[in-house]
């Protein structure tokens, strides 16, 4: 059976029109006489989308009960029985309800494709598995519903449904995507202009990468080796030398000459890992590559020119940038064609740029005679030459004959090679001279005399010395590289531990000192600030430390034990810098832990003091006027007037009692005996008491709460007082007969509580004034006083670690938004909406 084809409409965000485009394509195909059915479509209440379904055959959904809730899902078996030519399946990343044939909708689609049914589907970029972390960084919202990249990349056709961010926000504001009560939250959170722009770019880049991958697959299937320059791809070859930065900047300029150019930097590492390079310089070049917007690659290979060309062909490069050889001119002349010439010969249709630089071909210099071998190995080499020479001579003299001179020479040459392998150049030279003298004395006529009577004998001695030097150079180089490899591995391990210790924070100083003690074989290490020991490790020997390194401006690192080499001090400088960072982190953490509670209490206290200063005067004046009027003998008050004055006095005195309580709270705050008691609180547990206190019911307030409970970090008492104030203000300004909307929603690691009215609203010019104490519209009567005031509400919310902001209500009005952190034990803390129709 022929497998069906998959066509996917890809969007950057909800509302761009993927479902609409899918249905529009379905209607077009029906018009051409194709057999099309709607397997499943999610309209999310959008009338335009629902209208597109009319006239199309719809396969009824199947009903599923889960935890007492009725859910409808695509009936896979019904679609397979119907076996249409084309099935329209919306939301490819959707998670099916328990009990369905497959847990994911894309698995249902796979079943349809395997049955020969062509499928047209939709998906948003945030649901692509490889982009999940990137989308979370951009929007702050993780996605639990994802689709593997491999599934999407196997689609026969992927089309981007594109819409500019500003046009999408306009559609959202017009109510074409979400209900009006959700528009404000969406615009200020997920649908920010910057978020949408980044998601749009991410979508286009992912599709461009997919197109590029498809091109690579086509070239591989067709066996096309030559480069297709669909875009400029510049590969820069790095050796780890100082010329790397020059080459990278030149490569970046070449890539920038064409739109969409790519920069790749590659370093070829030898298989033994011992190729000499400046690791620090290579790290700087890697950072420069990232700054220039390129990609860094490290490839293992033994044939550098051919491996470099193969890599360039692998990325479909059009340009290859290499540097002029850094070898001395004489060495280059003697060794024949270098890497550059071989790369040019092998590059084919790839353009090669050879860039000159300051480190190009220097003067010829003799190699230094100096070893990486230990003194113990050198002494062993001398002892071997001293003992092995006489023993070998004794054996060869006993077996001497007229035809044995050749084997005698080779035996002594073997002695020289072995001495070189053991002890390096000096034992080898000693063995070579000793072997030449011994051969001349015991085996060359006239015997038992030292005579050099022909040039050949002199040449033989020189050849012995040359063999010794060559072999010793090989041994010394191998020893040096082996030591460098061990040193590099140890340094890498130490630096990794140092970095990890600093990132862990709390015990970083102790971990760094302990690692320093072990790594350098010291007896003791101490971090000292001039007055006292901050931290220590090991045994601090009596007397002066063997070395002292400054750590920042106020501390020093003291080392006890052996003296350290210069290479060790370089690593110690890195450790000292990390210790300075860890000390700064410790100090900041201590200050933050001391200041945080004071700052929270100060915000509450400042708001409260500013508020009560105003609120005290109004009820006091009203109560005084009422009592004074009642005591006046000049006026004959009626019963109704007297009752009204008494009621005014009672209300005013009640307000004063509440304000006095607030003042007592301030006193406790100043004394440090009353703090903000933050703990996990259910949103419903805070909303319902506020409604009860105001006596508000379903006729007054519409509740819009998520199905799953929301746990936030707050002080329940303070949060209730804030909600009472905001609800009272919303009721006051809301038109008669209209409900105030009280909603709650999650966004990333925070929760938003919104109090929405449809009154006159607040202009942007006056929003800052709202939170200035008692800058209230229509502040005239005693009964609608501010109570705690908006300034106090904002102070309470900030004291709980949240924010209080004002937003416009779509269609008119004001929305007060309380944002507080989610509790860690919230079952869905940080969870995103499950479907694109949910409120982001």
Residue ending a domain, choose from 221, 250, 266: 221
Average pLDDT score over residue span 602-626:
66
Give me the pLDDT at residue 500, please: 58
Beta bridge partners of 351: 319
The answer to the question of residue 464 being in a domain is yes
Average pLDDT score over residue span 192-215:
75
Percent of the chain residues topping a pLDDT of 70: 74
**Do 695 and 658 contact (CB within 8 A), yes or no?**
no
Euclidean distance between CA atoms 571 and 794, whole angstroms? 51
Which CATH number does the domain housing residue 306 bear?
3.40.50.620
Has residue 122 got a pLDDT over 90? Answer: yes
Q: How far is CA 451 from CA 87, 394, 411, 413, 441, in A?
A: 102, 21, 21, 20, 8
Task: State the helix-helix crossing angle for 193-221 and 132-139, rounded to 10 degrees.
Answer: 160
Q: How far is CA 542 from CA 524, 549, 560, 561, in A?
A: 11, 18, 9, 11
Has residue 758 got a pLDDT over 80? Answer: yes
HSE value, Cβ hemisphere, 13 Å, CA-based, for 354: 12
One domain, residues 805 and 726? yes
The single-letter DSSP state of residue 266 is E
The two beta strands, 157-161 and 233-238, are: unpaired
Euclidean distance between CA atoms 23 and 8, whole angstroms? 12
The answer to the question of residue 430 being in a domain is yes
One domain, residues 171 and 81? yes
**Do 279 and 249 contact (CB within 8 A), yes or no?**
no
The answer to the question of residue 591 being in a domain is no
Give me the pLDDT at residue 823, please: 83
**Confidence tier at 30 by pLDDT (50, 70, 90):** very high
Token pair for 416: 């020289």
Mean pLDDT check: name the lowest of 23-32, 136-145, 212-221.
212-221
Most confident of 168-172, 499-503, 512-516: 168-172
832's CB contacts (< 8 A; 6+ apart) are 126, 141, 142, 143, 144, 840
One domain, residues 40 and 173? yes
Token pair for 305: 């020119």
**Confidence tier at 274 by pLDDT (50, 70, 90):** very low
Has residue 251 got a pLDDT over 90? Answer: no
Give me the pLDDT at residue 666, please: 47
More confident residue, 19 or 626: 19
Euclidean distance between CA atoms 196 and 679, whole angstroms? 35
Give me the pLDDT at residue 505, please: 46
Nearest to 199, CA basis, from 16, 12, 14, 15: 12
Range of the domain at 447: 403-475
One domain, residues 217 and 102? yes
The answer to the question of residue 95 being in a domain is yes
One domain, residues 548 and 456? no
Give me the pLDDT at residue 699, please: 83
Euclidean distance between CA atoms 653 and 619, whole angstroms? 7
One domain, residues 471 and 489? no
Euclidean distance between CA atoms 83 and 76, whole angstroms? 10
Average pLDDT score over residue span 759-782:
62
In this structure, the number of other CB atoms found within 10 A of the CB of residue 241 comes to 17
pLDDT per position as a tens digit, 280-309: 677 788 888 888 888 888 877 778 888 888
**Confidence tier at 831 by pLDDT (50, 70, 90):** very low
Has residue 688 got a pLDDT over 80? Answer: yes
One domain, residues 488 and 467? no
One domain, residues 167 and 28? yes
Give me the pLDDT at residue 611, please: 53
One domain, residues 459 and 513? no
Provide the terminal-to-terminal Cα distance of the chain, rounded to the nearest Å: 42
More confident residue, 256 or 672: 256
More confident residue, 492 or 442: 442
Percent of the chain residues topping a pLDDT of 90: 9
Where does residue 261 rank: exposed (0-12), middle (13-18), buried (19+ CB within 10 A)?
buried
The pair phi, psi for residue 783, each rounded to 5°, is -80, -25
Q: In what order do the strands lie in the sheet with 319-323?
A: 295-300, 262-269, 233-238, 319-323, 351-355
The answer to the question of residue 324 being in a domain is yes
Q: What is the 3-state secondary structure (H, E, C) of 506-548?
A: CCHHHHHHHHHHHHCCCCEEEEECCCCEEEEEECCCCCCCCEE
The answer to the question of residue 590 being in a domain is no
The answer to the question of residue 284 being in a domain is yes
Nearest to 202, CA basis, from 265, 294, 139: 139
In this structure, the number of other CB atoms found within 10 A of the CB of residue 643 comes to 11
Which CATH number does the domain housing residue 757 bear?
3.30.565.10
Which CATH number does the domain housing residue 197 bear?
3.40.50.300
**Do 751 and 819 contact (CB within 8 A), yes or no?**
yes
∠ CA 462-468-470, nearest 5°, is: 100
Give me the pLDDT at residue 26, please: 93
In this structure, the number of other CB atoms found within 10 A of the CB of residue 404 comes to 13
pLDDT per position as a tens digit, 629-653: 777 777 777 888 778 878 888 877 8
Residue ending a domain, choose from 355, 378, 394: 355
Query: Which residue is it, tokens 């929007």?
Result: 139
The total domain count for the chain is 5
Token pair for 419: 């001495």
Where does residue 138 rank: exposed (0-12), middle (13-18), buried (19+ CB within 10 A)?
buried
Where does residue 702 rank: exposed (0-12), middle (13-18), buried (19+ CB within 10 A)?
middle
Beta bridge partners of 265: 236, 296
Euclidean distance between CA atoms 339 and 129, whole angstroms? 42
The answer to the question of residue 831 being in a domain is no
Quote the pTM value: 0.40
One domain, residues 698 and 815? yes
**Do 822 and 749 contact (CB within 8 A), yes or no?**
yes
Token pair for 704: 């819009």
490's CB contacts (< 8 A; 6+ apart) are 519
Residue ending a domain, choose from 475, 502, 534: 475
**Confidence tier at 448 by pLDDT (50, 70, 90):** confident
Secondary structure E strands in 315-466: 319-323, 351-355
The two beta strands, 57-58 and 803-808, are: unpaired
Helices (H), strands (E): how many in the chain? 25, 24
Has residue 476 got a pLDDT over 70? Answer: no
Has residue 463 got a pLDDT over 90? Answer: no
**Do 44 and 837 contact (CB within 8 A), yes or no?**
yes
Token pair for 667: 């006193």
More confident residue, 529 or 236: 236
Query: Which residue is it, tokens 């009577």?
Result: 453
Average pLDDT score over residue span 555-571:
74
Most confident of 5-19, 215-229, 584-598: 5-19
One domain, residues 118 and 210? yes
**Do 565 and 520 contact (CB within 8 A), yes or no?**
no
Euclidean distance between CA atoms 252 and 424, whole angstroms? 47
One domain, residues 191 and 260? no
The helix (H) or strand (E) run that includes residue 10 is strand 6-11
The pair phi, psi for residue 84, each rounded to 5°, is -80, 170
**Do 540 and 552 contact (CB within 8 A), yes or no?**
no
**Confidence tier at 419 by pLDDT (50, 70, 90):** confident
The pair phi, psi for residue 666, each rounded to 5°, is -60, -40
Which CATH number does the domain housing residue 522 bear?
3.30.450.40
Give me the pLDDT at residue 780, please: 42
Please provide the average confidence, as pLDDT, over all residues in the chain.
76
Q: For residue 446, is the peptide bond before it cis, meaning its omega torsion is within 30 degrees of 0?
A: yes
Euclidean distance between CA atoms 491 and 568, whole angstroms? 9
Helix (H, G, I), strand (E, B) or coil at 603: helix
The two beta strands, 233-238 and 319-323, are: parallel
């Amino acid at each position: 059976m022929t497998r069906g084809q998959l066509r996917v409409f890809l969007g950057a965000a909800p509302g761009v029109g993927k479902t609409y485009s899918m249905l529009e394509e379905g209607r077009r195909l029906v018009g051409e006489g194709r057999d099309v059915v709607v397997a499943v479509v999610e309209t999310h209440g959008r009338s335009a989308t629902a209208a597109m379904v009319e006239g199309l055959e719809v396969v009824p959904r199947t009903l599923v009960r889960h935890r007492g809730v009725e859910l409808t899902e695509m009936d896979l078996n019904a679609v397979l029985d119907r076996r249409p030519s084309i099935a329209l399946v919306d939301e490819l990343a959707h998670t099916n309800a328990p009990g369905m044939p497959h847990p994911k909708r894309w698995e249902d689609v796979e079943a349809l494709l395997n049955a020969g049914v062509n499928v047209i589907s939709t998906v948003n970029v945030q649901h692509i598995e490889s982009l999940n972390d990137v989308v979370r960084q951009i929007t702050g919202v993780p996605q639990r519903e994802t689709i593997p990249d491999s599934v999407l990349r196997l689609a026969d056709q992927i089309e981007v449904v594109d819409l500019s961010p500003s046009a999408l926000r306009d559609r959202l504001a017009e109510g074409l995507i979400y209900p009006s009560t959700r528009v404000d939250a969406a615009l200020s959170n997920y649908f920010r202009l910057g978020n949408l722009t980044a998601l749009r770019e991410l979508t286009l880049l992912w599709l461009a990468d997919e197109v590029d991958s498809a091109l690579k697959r086509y070239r591989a299937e067709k066996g096309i080796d030559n480069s297709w320059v669909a875009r400029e791809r510049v590969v820069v070859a790095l050796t780890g030398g100082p010329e790397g930065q020059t080459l990278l900047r030149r490569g970046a300029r070449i890539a920038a000459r064409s739109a969409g150019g790519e920069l790749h930097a590659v370093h070829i590492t030898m298989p033994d890992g011992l190729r000499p390079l400046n690791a620090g310089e290579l790290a700087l070049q890697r950072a420069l590559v990232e700054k220039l917007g390129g990609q860094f690659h490290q490839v293992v290979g033994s044939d550098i020119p051919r491996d470099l060309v193969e890599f360039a062909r692998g990325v479909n490069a059009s340009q290859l940038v290499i540097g002029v050889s850094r070898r001395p001119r004489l060495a280059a002349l003697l060794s024949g064609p270098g890497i550059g010439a071989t790369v040019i010969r092998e590059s084919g249709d790839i353009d090669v740029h050879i860039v000159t630089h300051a480190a190009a071909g220097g003067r010829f210099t003799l190699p230094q005679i100096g070893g990486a071998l230990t003194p113990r190995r050198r002494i062993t080499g001398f002892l071997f030459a001293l003992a092995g020479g006489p023993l070998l001579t004794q054996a060869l003299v006993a077996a001497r004959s007229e035809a044995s001179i050749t084997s005698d020479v080779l035996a002594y040459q073997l002695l020289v090679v072995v001495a070189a392998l053991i002890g390096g150049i000096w034992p080898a030279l000693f063995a070579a001279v000793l072997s030449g003298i011994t051969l001349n004395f015991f085996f060359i006529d006239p015997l038992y005399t030292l005579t050099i009577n022909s040039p050949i004998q002199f040449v033989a001695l020189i050849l012995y010395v040359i063999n010794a030097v060559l072999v010793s150079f090989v041994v010394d180089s191998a020893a040096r590289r082996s030591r460098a490899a061990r040193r590099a591995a140890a340094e890498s391990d130490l630096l990794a531990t140092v970095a990890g210790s600093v990132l862990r924070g709390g015990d970083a100083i102790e971990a760094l000192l302990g690692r320093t003690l072990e790594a350098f074989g010291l007896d003791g290490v101490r971090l000292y600030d001039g007055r006292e020991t901050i931290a220590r490790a090991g045994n601090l020997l009596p007397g002066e430390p063997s070395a002292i390194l400054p750590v920042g401006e106020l501390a020093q690192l003291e080392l006890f034990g052996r003296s350290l080499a210069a290479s060790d001090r370089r690593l110690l400088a890195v450790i000292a810098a990390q210790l300075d960072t860890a000390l700064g982190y410790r100090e900041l953490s201590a200050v933050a832990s001391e200041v945080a509670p004071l700052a929270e209490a100060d915000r509450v206290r400042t708001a409260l003091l500013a508020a009560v200063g105003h609120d005290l005067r109004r009820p006091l004046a009203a109560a005084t006027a009422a009592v004074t009027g009642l005591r006046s003998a000049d006026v004959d008050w009626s019963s109704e007037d007297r009752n009204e004055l008494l009621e005014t006095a009672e209300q005013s005195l009640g307000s004063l009692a509440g304000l006095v309580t607030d003042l007592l709270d301030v006193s406790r705050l100043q004394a440090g005996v009353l703090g903000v008691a933050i703990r996990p609180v259910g949103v419903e547990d805070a909303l319902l008491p506020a409604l009860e206190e105001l006596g508000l019911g379903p006729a007054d307030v519409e509740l819009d709460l998520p199905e799953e409970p929301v746990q936030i970090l707050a002080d329940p008492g303070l949060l209730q007082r804030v909600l009472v104030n905001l609800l009272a203000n919303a009721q006051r300004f809301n038109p008669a007969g209209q409900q105030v909307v009280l909603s709650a929603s999650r966004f990333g690691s925070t929760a938003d509580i919104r109090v929405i009215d449809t009154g006159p609203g607040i202009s942007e010019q006056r929003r800052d004034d709202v939170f200035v104490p008692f800058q209230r519209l229509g502040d005239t009567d005693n009964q609608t006083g501010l109570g705690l005031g908006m300034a106090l509400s904002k102070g309470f919310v900030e004291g709980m670690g949240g924010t209080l902001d004002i937003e416009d209500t779509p269609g008119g009005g004001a929305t007060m938004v309380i944002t507080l952190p989610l509790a860690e034990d919230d079952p869905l803390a940080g969870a995103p909406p499950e479907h694109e129709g949910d409120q982001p």
